[in-house]
Chain A
Amino acid sequence: MLPIQISGTAARHPSHVVKIDAGIPKPYAIPSSMSELQNSLLELVRRTSAEIPDDVNQSILASLEQEKKGTIAESALKIIDQNIQLAKRKSQPICQDTGSILFYVDCPVGFDQIAFEETAKEAVKLATKKGFLRQNSVDSLTGKNDGTNVGPGAPTFHFHQHRSPEVSVRLVLKGGGCENVGAQYSLPNEKLNANRDLDGCRKAILDAVLQAQGKGCGPGILGVCIGGDRATGYEMSKTQFLRLIPDRNPNPELDKLEQDILKTANELGIGPMGFGGKTTLLGVKICAANRLPASYFVSISYMCWAYRRQGITLDAVEKIEKWLY
């Protein structure tokens, strides 16, 4: 990779910072051999697809302890536990539905997002060839699957600039089974007797848990956004999946709601895979966004037990510096 002379905070990431000289951007040269960044992202995809993060694994093991012995709920959790171990050992996808590919990138001012996207798409194509990802992206008009996982809207990138020189890349692979049971409620909802307050939100969220049973590969994790518009509500609900399972919400009201929904959902007897049992949810994560006076959305994203989420920070030459989960 050709180093570009730059200075300042962005100097840690030479290949992705395009310096503007007399209004002419220097082209980002994609090296013919695999770049360090591509290598790092390929490893991020591999590990995200094959290895459950430790916080999720601990939570699943705790729920296995709790289920009644000899039930089909316990059998299901045992198979889930075996599957987690086997996927890691074989370096193969935990679930064959390797999901929507969602990148969340925190980067300094001056970071070349276009170059990052191009490299990440190549890494995704390569990960697909290697079988870390299923050929999972279909043209919605023609029904054709070109087998690359790259196309309009796929993968998805969320960039966030910050004033630190650090570049961190988080990746979530979210399967279709759990994506299909996501739900957005517009309050008030007469059928649920849900008004525009936190109790109304509680009713909507618990209804989503009831409706998702069996279909979303439980035990699941909820990401919720109260407020926002229809698009940002869903988008922010998904960013909740970047939180650790045992963490607590710094907002006392939201923390109370999270704990209450977790406890209540686990009293419903839905259980793993909807077979009946004690563990329906492993976690509930809720955020709030401002809304218009006319709108009150509660957007709920459901994550299956195969909670594929990892993250890395990159060093000066774009090798993996550390793992975030």
Chain B
Amino acid sequence: MIKLAAPFTEEHIRALKVGDEVLISGVIFTGRDAVHKYLHEGGKLPPGVNLRDGIMYHCGPVVMKQDDGTWKATAAGPTTSIREEPYQAQIIKDFGIRGVIGKGGMGDKTLAACKEFGCVYLHAVGGAAQVLAECIKKVRNVYLMEKFGAPEAIWEFEVEDFPAVVTMDAHGNSLHKEVFAKSQAALAERL
């Protein structure tokens, strides 16, 4: 198990390889379908959101307002990342993201961007909304809430020991490609 803590420097990120299990600590920002489309179309990041050397989490959490006016993330697992494939490479390049947390893996364009710009894909366990919400120690802020609604907003989380597996590294390797090729070959033998 590798501790991956902020700042997420290029050096730390390039040292990771496919199959590494990591525990992430620091500030991360959520972003999913609406945010990716918005940024890809030239939308501006709201003041306060800094993705440079940062991590973007493909997540639409359940967040409840507490009596004291603060927010609490009560369910926050990853959403399927492949939907962001048309946009992700550009966003990694433009905003200097070092890590993308999601599930299901991404395609060749993102894999190439990870290699070129020094970024990794961090696979969290899909559906594990409670275990992952427990790792969110603080909801620091929310952006674009009015525009996109709660699941699609940008949430700023402070996380501690958030578990994920590196499934696409900054050297062109993808566990998803590997497993797909092997399973496709295994299926061909059984038809």
A203-231 contact mask (Cβ, 8 Å, vs B): 1 or 0: 10011001001110100000000000000
**Contact of A177 with B by CB under 8 A:** yes
Measured between C-beta atoms, what is the minimum distance from B28 to chain A in Å?
A: 15
Task: Name A89's closest neighbour in chain B (CB-CB).
Answer: B130
Q: Do the beta carbons of B64 and A131 come within 8 Å of each other?
A: yes
Q: Do the beta carbons of A93 and B183 come within 8 Å of each other?
A: no
Q: Do the beta carbons of B77 and A135 come within 8 Å of each other?
A: no
Contact A134 to B75, CB < 8 A, known contacts A93-B62, A214-B103, A217-B126: yes
**Contact of A76 with B by CB under 8 A:** yes
Contact A268 to B126, CB < 8 A, known contacts A95-B77, A134-B60: no
In the complex, chain A residues 166-182 whose Cβ is within 8 Å of any chain B Cβ: 175-177, 180
Q: Do the beta carbons of B34 and A274 come within 8 Å of each other?
A: no
A80, A131, A213, A264: the one contacting B125 at CB < 8 Å is A80
Q: What is the interface residue range for chain B against chain A?
A: 35 or more
Measured between C-beta atoms, what is the minimum distance from B145 to chain A in Å?
A: 11
B123, B151, B190, B191: the one contacting A273 at CB < 8 Å is B123
Q: Hey, which chain A residues are within 8 Å of B103, CB to CB?
A: 177, 214-215, 217, 273
Q: Do the beta carbons of A271 and B77 come within 8 Å of each other?
A: no
Q: Do the beta carbons of B131 and A267 come within 8 Å of each other?
A: no
A135, A268, A271: the one contacting B149 at CB < 8 Å is A135
State the CA gap A306–B129 with chains docked (Å): 10
B163-186 contact mask (Cβ, 8 Å, vs A): 1 or 0: 101010000000110111011101
Q: Do the beta carbons of B128 and A83 come within 8 Å of each other?
A: yes
State the CA gap A93–B165 with chains docked (Å): 23
**Contact of B31 with A by CB under 8 A:** no
State the CA gap A7–B64 with chains docked (Å): 46
Q: Do the beta carbons of B60 and A96 come within 8 Å of each other?
A: yes
**Contact of A126 with B by CB under 8 A:** no
**Contact of A250 with B by CB under 8 A:** no
Q: Do the beta carbons of B131 and A86 come within 8 Å of each other?
A: yes
Q: Do the beta carbons of B134 and A214 come within 8 Å of each other?
A: no
Measured between C-beta atoms, what is the minimum distance from A247 to chain B in Å?
A: 23
Q: Do the beta carbons of A276 and B179 come within 8 Å of each other?
A: yes
Q: Hey, which chain B residues are within 8 Å of A75, CB to CB?
A: 21, 163, 165
User: A177-B103, A206-B190, A215-B103 provided; 14 other pairs, C-beta below 8 A?
Assistant: A83-B127, A90-B130, A95-B127, A98-B75, A131-B74, A134-B150, A147-B149, A176-B79, A176-B80, A268-B190, A269-B182, A273-B123, A276-B182, A305-B127
11 residue pairs from A and B, CB less than 8 Å apart: A80-B125, A83-B131, A92-B133, A93-B129, A95-B75, A145-B151, A147-B149, A180-B80, A210-B180, A267-B186, A275-B165
